[in-house]
Structure 1
């Protein structure tokens, strides 16, 4: 009976060792699969980033002409407005200077409205 118990214990120990090997193999397999998944995810992220960068570059190139043409139109409009302002300045310059000089030189003395006459 002791021999049979010893044999059973030996069988259990061997089964435990075999189970430990299977568990270790499963852990190694899991680690390997996680590394593969991480590598694959990194590759997919890089591919997607490249795709979006190309898409943005195409969008930017297609709209760059619109920006330049809008800038040219704004510059032309600014030049026209500057010309109008210069023309109005030339027309009204003399009248403004005359009004300023009249205000300075033609003074009519008046009593202040808050001043009361003391009797």
Structure 2
């Protein structure tokens, strides 16, 4: 009976070793699959990034002329407005200076309204 128990134990130990080997292989397979998946995802990301960069460069090139045209139009409009402001300044500066001088030189000395109330 001891031989049968010994043989049964030996069979169980062999089965346990085989199971451990299968588990180890499964772990290695899983690790390899994860590595493969990561490298594949990295490749896809790089391809997607390259495609989007190319698309952006194409868009940028097609709209580059529009930007320079818009900038030229804005510069022209700015020059027109600056000229208008300058013309307005030149045409009204004498009037403004004269009004300021009139106000400064025409002083009517009188008491402040608050001072009048206190004295009453």
Partner of 2:77: 77
| 1:69-108 to 2 correspondences below 5 Å | 69-108=69-108
How much does 1:87 deviate? 1.1
For the aligned residue pairs, the C-alpha RMSD in angstroms reads 2.1
Question: Is 1:59 the equivalent of 2:42?
Answer: no
Looking at structure 1, the residues matched to 108 and 27 of structure 2 have their Cα atoms a distance apart, in angstroms, of 105
Looking at structure 2, the residues matched to 11 and 106 of structure 1 have their Cα atoms a distance apart, in angstroms, of 124
Question: Is 1:9 the equivalent of 2:14?
Answer: no
Query: Following TM superposition, where does structure 1 have runs of at least 4 consecutive aligned residues deviating by more than 6 angstroms?
Result: none
Structure 2 gaps of 5+ residues are: none
Structure 1 gaps of 5+ residues are: none
Partner of 1:35: 35
Aligned length: 118
TM-score, scaled to structure 2: 0.84
TM-score, scaled to structure 1: 0.84
